[in-house]
A and B are shown apart, each in its own frame.
Chain A
Amino acid sequence: MHSNDFDAEQRAERRAAPKPARTPSGGRTMLASDGGSVSRRKFITSGASTAGGLMIGLHLPGLSQAATAAQPQTAAPEVNAWVLIQPDDTVVVRIARSEMGQGTLTGLAQLVAEELDCDWAKVTTEYPTPGQNLARNRIWGNFSTGGSRGIRESHDYVRKGGAAAKLMLVQAAADEWKVPAADCKAAHSVITHPASGKRTTYGKVAAAAAKLTPPTDIKLKDPKDWKLAGRPVKRLDTRDKLNGKQVYGMDLKLPGLLNAAIRDCPVFGGKLKSFDAAAVSGKPGVKKVLRVGDSAVAVVADTWWHAKTALDALPVVWDEGAHAKASSAEFAATLRAALDAPEAAAANTVGDVKSALASAARKVEAVYSYPHQNHACMETMNATAKFTASATPAQQRCEVWCPTQNGEAALAAAAEASGLPPSQCEVYKIHLGGGFGRRGLPDYVRQAVDIAKQMPGIPVKLIWSREEDMLHGRYHPVTQCKLQAGLDSQGKLTALHLRLAGQSIVAGLAPQNIKNGLDPVAFQGLNAGGPEAAIGYTIPNLLVDHAMRNPHVPPGFWRGVNLNHNAIYLECFMDELAHATGQDPLVFRRQLMQAHPRHLAVLNAVAERAGWSRPAPDVGGQKVFRGLAQTMGFGSYVAACAEVSVDTKGELKIHRIVAATDSGHAVNPQQIEAQVEGSFAYGLSAALYGECTVKDGRIEQQNFDTYPVLKMADMPKVETIVMPSGGFWGGVGEPTIAVAAPAVLNAIFAATGKRIRQLPLKDQLRAKA
């Protein structure tokens, strides 16, 4: 059995969203950084102007700097919470979810604009703030951006926002013309009354429309009638990423800004014992050396380079705590034992696996493992905070500027760390330099606020070094899996026991959601059914269970989450069973997939496109071999066929991966292609190289020299088949990540006869000297 200190260390990173305040109006004011107050609209729309005061640089795609700066102080009419229209017909679509590269901002704007029937060339976007959402009774719904939910969980209400705004604009024009609204038409931001020839634009009637009572009977278009949604339109946020103008959290400039570098105890759960501030206080630019929480120390300086240089020289003594000797080897032994533990939480049970295995004509067994991974976003964690003190408690303020996947969680963290009610805090979301799940957790926000509170009135930007980022991630969980199959004399699969052992993300982040030892998301891709992540095989006797074992390394949602290892385990083992019984891996799968037509359709699509029935052509004199994988996750059905060669030295080349994805509806096919390619780069980084190992309680890999990731030379060609079958909404940011690795591993087996069961691949194919 596992030791006590290996038990769930229940880190509740995610706090409940703050309760809405009673302030009913959207007209709240907020403190500008110079202490004056500006209206919310002015703040949002003029944020990009850099004249003196606020230099927030909130990005407004499609608007020129000049147009932005010239935005009048009077608010553009808010037709409703989602749509603002300026007199020049510029349409501002509010986006509650965060853009971190995945294209959600453009996709959501397409959906709103589709229903609004506005001129797409005049569409721009803005983020409402979490504080406004709180004050307006969560009118924009959930801000959380993870689980590939950006579009699939908000499409309905954002489309209704667009449709309602259109109805109101048409009604306003009809009222002005004293004609029935039903006799008017609207398209491309122009409203016409064909009978009289009257014509106006959205911008001209927006102010009148904003005063109307919102309609309640809203009909959405049938997706087959879409003209803008479903099309591969260009992203709205590209231009400034090509010339250095895009402002990321790390780039934020504010008057009087200071910079902080931080070091948290390298052993998770350890504490800061002491530090010698005097040793560095005379170094250039240093303003303050301070304790952050009970485990970290920060140096605040005029520049970050000064802060970091001083921090590197700061003598620090840690209390490394109970986990000072923990190691990956210890975790592995604990997980290995759990593979045979009598107690486990069962999630998918069909028939009687135990007796079916006992009576099977043939048994096949294998054990796989998957290591901890760091998200390694290109932009390291950072947040800027300012605490405004006041003798009047109600006038104290805490403001945070940060890249976050969950603005509301960041607001809750700001409130908690500042000790102020959420209504006295605000979070301004800044464009993210990558997220991948890491920026859903607000640990870095809490640190920034803790620092700012110790220096009232001064905005302080906390930036983590890459080393800090590698040592204080929220890691992809470590797991192992034992698979036992029973086959009849014809090679038909009669029984499968898939035992997962290892870490639970939910136990680490939201332990209240663990019931009877069962982590509801541990079984992604292996569930009995449901719209989210169902297994695609019919197996007469099936048991999928999980023996939870939680090391002290904090887990997090890492792009693809549990689907990453679950798909490797199941899809590589299916390949093993096909080869063990002398069957074609495609034919073997198809026999088990007849009751799962959507799973089967994507698998068939990649097999056909790749040319599965014929041998792959040689590349550069090397024989090329194929491997397959399919799964369902985040509401979508996905499959991949990989083509690889392995030379005599064991050098792997991944030539091509054909991918298929059925996300039900496809809002922007070219962005789906980008997500599929990107997910492969991320998934293959993990499969080929990625591994965070623990020694002496701390992560060993501190930078990209020891945590290599996929680069250009190793990126395969990707052919993406986008095949929306309609009738449901699936995500696209994550699902395909899970099929890249098993398809490649199965192709490696086809090429070499070597079955890779321990991830990452690293040098397992290299010829031993």
Chain B
Amino acid sequence: MPTLNVNGSARTHDAEADTPLLWVLREQLGLTGTKYGCGIAQCGSCTVHINGEPVRSCVRPVSSIEPGDKIITIEGLSADGASHPLQRAWAQIDVPQCGFCQSGMLMTAAALLKNKPKPTDADIDEQVTNICRCGTYNRVRAAIHIAAKG
């Protein structure tokens, strides 16, 4: 059975090779924090990290991922689910509304901070292209800056 390294654990699955990673995470591994929003890499709700890079998992065939590739999902962003600087900043200013897009927002922002610890507004505009229909953008931006300040 194929193996994936997800949140530090080796996980096996029996999905067909062309199954998008998103649906392997959600339906084979039970990790439903990663969301389906569009299926065509437009909205970013499905964003996970593969080897530290943000990936829109709805269009990434699972067969393209090597067993050694390190996948991190929202469930693995921090050990306790609350202590990543972005999770703390998000909680501090009540960023989410419905919350559905927020897993993808957080994973996108986490990848941004890893590459650019002090992002400018322009960096955020360029990198955080996720869709939020509730319109939490200004609080997302503010929370990224809070987290960057540490």
Contacts and interface: CB of A to CB of B under 8 A. Distances in A.
Interface string A453-471: 0000000000101100000
Interface residues of B, number: 60
B30 to A, nearest CB: 7
Contacts of A713: 125-126, 129
Interface in B86-138: 87, 90-91, 94-103, 106, 124-126, 128-138
Interface centre among B32, B40, B99 (most CB of A within 10 A): B99
B7 to A, nearest CB: 10
B30 A253 contact: yes
B135 A678 contact: yes
B33 A243 contact: yes
A123 B34 CA distance: 29
A235 B136 CA distance: 14
B81 interface: yes
A57 to B, nearest CB: 9
A248 B87 CA distance: 19
Contacts of A376: 133
B88 to A, nearest CB: 9
Nearest to A305: B23
Interface in B15-30: 15-16, 19-20, 23, 26-28, 30
Interface centre among B15, B30, B38, B42 (most CB of A within 10 A): B38
Contacts of A101: 96-99, 134
Nearest to B18: A309
A251 interface: yes
A432 interface: yes
Interface string A239-254: 1011111111011010
Interface in A165-224: none
A239 B82 contact: yes
Given A248-B100, A711-B137, A674 B94 contact: yes
B94 A235 contact: yes
B94 A242 contact: no
Interface residues of A, number: 61
Interface string B52-93: 000000000000000000000111011001100001001100
A475 to B, nearest CB: 15
Interface stretch (A377-385, A596-604, A632-640): A377-385
Contacts of A253: 30, 32
A376 B100 CA distance: 13
B11 interface: no
A715 B136 CA distance: 10
A703 interface: yes
A304 interface: yes
Contact of A704 (B42, B94, B106, B126): B42
B121 to A, nearest CB: 9
B136 A674 contact: yes
Contacts of B97: 101-103, 674, 678
B4 interface: no
B40 A703 contact: yes
A722 to B, nearest CB: 15
B38 A241 contact: no
B140 interface: yes
B45 interface: yes
20 contacts: A100-B98, A234-B94, A241-B99, A242-B91, A242-B102, A246-B99, A250-B32, A253-B32, A284-B16, A303-B23, A305-B20, A375-B133, A378-B98, A681-B134, A703-B40, A705-B42, A712-B125, A712-B140, A713-B129, A715-B135
Interface of B: 15-16, 19-20, 23, 26-28, 30-40, 42-43, 45, 73-75, 77-78, 81-82, 87, 90-91, 94-103, 106, 124-126, 128-141
What are the 6 closest A-B residue pairs judged by CB atoms, nearest first? A244-B33, A681-B135, A101-B98, A241-B99, A101-B97, A433-B100
